[in-house]
Amino acid sequence: MESALYPGSFDPITFGHLNILDRALDVFAEVTVLVAVNPQKKPLFSLDECIEMIRDATAGRPRVRVDHHEGLLVDYARRHGIKLAVRGLRAVTDFESEFAMALTNRKLWPDFDTVFLMTRAEYMFLSSSVVRQVAQMGGDVSGFVPPCVEERLRLRFGYR
């Protein structure tokens, strides 16, 4: 059984991410949730906050590691000897950019491969940006994110 990376922004982590993670753990011995630091994106939560929420949300899962990386995914992967990444697919619209990214990564490191897991139907329309928008307007996000994330959103946007 191999190790795999699960890269993403996780700003913040949602039930959709956790579902992909749990299913990846059925296939891989260890999964590293890798928070990608993208200087071009303006995140809602700081890197430390994203990591803390992921640690909290995955606390009962001993085969999960959490790390962060700025730069090319394949550089991190090569340094850690991990040849696989897991990504989730929600709709056809995810496909094209994921396809381009997977092929680019393989071009950069021919040993590297990406495994795609289809979202569960109930999470098809769930994304971190939807969660951020709903929370910002004071909506109930308890069906989208674990309690530790809900609490942070509540503090951030100052609603009860």
Residues 89-118 that bind ligand ADP (CB under 6 A): 90, 94
Tokens, residue 98: 């994921």
Q: How far apart are CA 109 and CA 38, in angstroms?
A: 20
Tokens, residue 94: 């995810």
In degrees and rounded to multiples of 5, residue 37 shows phi and psi of: -90, 115
Stretch that binds ligand ADP, among 49-57, 68-76, 87-95, 148-156 (CB under 6 A): 87-95
Q: Quick one: which of 4, 5, 18, 20 contacts ligand ADP (CB under 6 A)?
A: 20
Q: Do residues 107 and 136 touch, judged by C-beta distance below 8 A?
A: no
Active site residue: 9, 69, 87, 128, which one?
Answer: 128
Tokens, residue 41: 């994106």
Q: Between 29 and 58, how does the x/- string for binding to ligand ADP read (CB under 6 A)?
A: -------x----------------------
80 is catalytic: no
**Least distance in Å: CB of 136 to ligand ADP?**
17
90 is catalytic: yes
107 is catalytic: no
69 is catalytic: no
* Distance separating the N- and C-terminal Cα atoms of the chain: 44
Tell me the torsion sign for CA atoms 136, 50, 37, 103: negative
List interacting residues with ligand ADP (CB under 6 A). 8-10, 14, 16-17, 20, 36, 87-88, 90, 94, 119, 123, 126-128
